[in-house]
Amino acid sequence: MLKTLLAFEKVPQLAKTDIAYATGDPKLKPFYAHEPAVTSFEAVIAARAPFQTPRAALVQVLKEQYHKIPAEALVNQHIEQLLAADTYTVTTAHQPALFLGPLYFVYKAITTITLAEAASKETGKTVIPVFVLGSEDHDLEELNHISLFNKALTWEPNESGAVGSMRTDQVRPLLDQLKDILGSADFAVEIFAQLEQAYTQSDDFASATQALLHALFGRFGLLVLNMNHPVLKREFIPLMRQELLEQTSQSLVSATADALNAAGFKTQASPRAINLFYLDKGLRERIVLEDGIYKALNTNLVWSEAEILDLLEKHPEHFSPNVVLRPLFQELVLPNLAYVGGGGELAYWLERKTQFETLGIPYPMLVRRNSVLWLDKDAQKKLQKFGFTASEFFEDTDLLVRRFIETNASGEINLQPEIQAIAQVYEQLAAKAAAIDPTLDKAVRADASKTTAALEQWQARLMKAEKQRHEVTLNQLRALKEKLFPGNGLQERSENFLAYYLKYGPGYFDTLKDALQPFDHGFIILSEEIPT
């Protein structure tokens, strides 16, 4: 694969804050603690080292969660190494998603793996890649479907509560559909066996996602952690108690959000007075404080202050941090140096620095995950046929069509020089008319507008005629644009890795790992080489 980088500023599909962070906009610098660079890791370690991480609890949970998963030597080694005080992690996180969801799920995993390797090489320390599963979320509609070869697969579990805790038995019909779609080629049989094992031998959706990630990336040493565990929740009790009693986070995060808005950046989260959910089987509801009584919304559950603190102490697993508190929980439990996320995620993290500082938890380096546009040989050949580079194809479809027509028209269709010339003539006429009778100026300008409009209509007619002449080619252009940028969005937000695995097998991940280097300053375009 040939690798090129497109400057983030030239990717119109990216948000303003994403581009600003990726390009080092000075206005964002007050909102993060460490420059995203491999040379910053020594400083991050110095800030992290004094903090006491509950390593024994972390290792206990990981060993329990990996008990049923086929052994991988490097993974087992990494789990044991976490007990050492000079071992650290770099981390990404995502909700468990059906068949790993969109491509960026895979890119997050691989960016984290390569970042860990880079940090280890730079510092001489053992740095382990960790994928945290946001298994307590309940946004089912965001993660229960994929599209593969224009066929939609949707999981309908008919359960409520945290998605990670939902049963996997109802994935079986989707596996049967998927088997037919994948076919019987060698790579198809191989990957289906891994998918089937993950989803049929796991009790819940989070465990199935962990098993699948392990099957695909365990050979690279990636650890997968489900933090919805009472042993880990117990470590978070002091901060959850403070949240219940003092509602600390709302004012801290809101103040930072106001500062970000003032700097010209849109904020993500709306912190609540209490940023905790009550969690139970089939249930995940917000905890609120009303007239001195704690309640779980949409339930009959109520507690006095003493009762809810007693519940927290005895059963911390019933409490679930929302997006405002989850980063604190993650950084408390893991000896973490860096968080890998997409642009939207990092925008959330930029709202957290003061919160971390006030609550005494080290704030990690924020690393933007790699973004990729993958072009196979067929796409490459079509781009050449249309006369576009891959970088140009990031533009809007209508603009691409206009440029193609202007380049390939049988005659000149751009009437802007004529329109400008006519405008100058009318300006001169208006000046002469006004000198004779000022009331004539308005009439001249009205006539100018009519003439300009007529020329613009002729330009549109010429464009339409050329579009009709190139109709077949333009339809091919639009089809390629839709394939590479579904809905004019990014490939990585729509496509699933299976389409690529069928063609390239496990070597697909090796190719990505070689190409996706952390701190790449641009959007990565990977193009299959076309034999000359």
Domain CATH code at residue 329 = 3.40.50
Whether 261 is covered by a domain: the verdict is: no
231 vs 225: CA distance, rounded Å? 13
**pTM for the full predicted model:** 0.90
- Name the helix (H) or strand (E) containing 375: strand 372-375
User: What pLDDT is attached to residue 429?
Assistant: 86
* Pair 18, 344: CB distance under 8 Å: yes
Indicate whether 52 and 183 sit together in one domain.
yes
Task: Specify if 17 maps to a domain.
Answer: yes
Domain extent at residue 158:
2-233+323-371
Q: Beta partners for 276?
A: 321
What pLDDT is recorded for position 414?
Answer: 63
C-alpha–C-alpha distance, residues 153 and 465, integer Å? 41
Note the pLDDT of residue 445. Answer: 84
Q: Judge if 282 and 424 occupy the same domain.
A: no
Element counts in the chain: helices (H) and strands (E)? 23, 15
The answer on 414 and 355 residing in a single domain is no
Residue 54 forms part of a structural domain = yes
Residues 111, 9 share a domain? yes
169 shares its domain with 278? no
CA angle 469, 475, 481 (to 5 degrees): 135
The whole-angstrom separation of Cα 242 and Cα 459 is 67
Report the domain count for the chain.
3
Three-state SS at 269: coil
Question: Is residue 80 included in any domain, yes or no?
Answer: yes
Specify if 523 maps to a domain: no
Same domain, 36 and 177: yes
Q: Quick one: 393 and 293 in the same domain?
A: no
The answer to whether the Cα torsion of 68, 70, 75, 81 is positive or negative is: positive
Paired residues of 336 in beta bridges: 89
Specify the pLDDT at position 455: 77
The per-residue pLDDT string of the chain (532 residues; one tens digit each, 9 = 90 and over) reads: 899 999 999 999 999 999 999 999 999 999 999 999 999 999 999 999 999 999 999 999 999 999 999 999 999 999 999 999 999 999 999 999 999 999 999 999 999 999 999 999 999 999 999 999 999 987 888 889 999 998 999 999 989 999 999 999 989 999 999 999 999 999 999 999 999 999 999 999 999 999 999 999 999 999 999 999 999 999 999 999 999 999 999 999 999 999 999 999 998 878 999 999 999 999 999 999 999 999 999 999 999 999 999 999 999 999 999 999 999 999 999 999 999 999 999 999 999 999 999 999 999 999 999 999 999 999 999 999 999 999 999 999 999 988 888 887 655 666 677 778 888 888 888 888 888 888 888 888 888 888 888 777 766 675 676 677 778 888 999 999 999 999 999 999 999 999 999 999 999 999 999 999 999 999 999 999 877 6
Phi, psi of 86 (to 5 degrees): -105, 20
Q: What are phi and psi of 423, to 5 degrees?
A: -60, -40
Same domain, 330 and 467: no
Q: What is the CA radius of gyration of the chain?
A: 28
Q: Would 517 be classed as within a structural domain? A: no
Buried b (16+ CB within 10 A) or exposed e, 224-259: bbbbbbebbbbbbeebbbebbeeebbbebbeebbee
Same domain, 88 and 199: yes
Is 13 among the domain residues?
yes
Same domain, 145 and 287: no
Q: So what's the pLDDT on residue 424? A: 85
**pLDDT given for residue 205 in this prediction:** 95
Strands 87-94 and 336-341: what pairing? parallel
Q: Domain boundary at 470, 489, 508, which?
A: 489
> Is the domain of 22 the same as that of 118?
yes
Say how far apart CA 463 and CA 398 lie, in whole Å: 12
Residue 463 lies inside a defined structural domain of this protein: yes
First vs last C-alpha separation in the chain: 15
361 and 402, same domain (yes or no): no
Q: Note the pLDDT of residue 531.
A: 73
